[in-house]
Amino acid sequence: LINSSLFDKTCYFFSSTTKPWLGAKEFCANFNSHLAIVNTEQENKFLANHIMDNRVFWLGLTDMHTEGNWQWVDGSILSLAFWNSGEPNNVGHEGEDCATIYSSGRWNDATCSNAETWVCERSC
């Protein structure tokens, strides 16, 4: 993968183009990877440090199957979270079922059909 960085034996790809969440998920799968799963505070900081101020990246986190039940793309339940103040709030007509990360390292729930940049990860 191009635009990749290494952290803790994991390779990350930071996209420069945008896609809806499902499109980003499919893109990662095509490269034998998955949307980023945050396991530690250090990993969250690593991701945030690679995000420019005006960018937002999809994470591999969604509650599209059951509202309020946030799960990672590998099926694991969300245990460590870095939500922004007041998030997740599920606002809007479509709701907000997919998670994004900002350069601050804070997360927001967003409408999955929004076109955003994304982060894939895989072992390397």
**pLDDT tens-digit profile of 50-69?**
988 778 999 999 999 999 99
* Closest C-alpha to 98, from 57, 53, 51: 57
What pLDDT was estimated at residue 92? 86
d(CA 113, CA 9): 31
pLDDT class for 4, splitting at 50, 70, 90? low
| 4-123 classified as CATH 3.40.50.970 | no
Q: Write down the domain spans for the chain.
A: 4-123
30 is written with which tokens? 């095509």
Q: For the chain, what is the mean pLDDT? A: 93
SS3 of the chain: helix, strand, coil, percent, to 5? 15, 30, 50
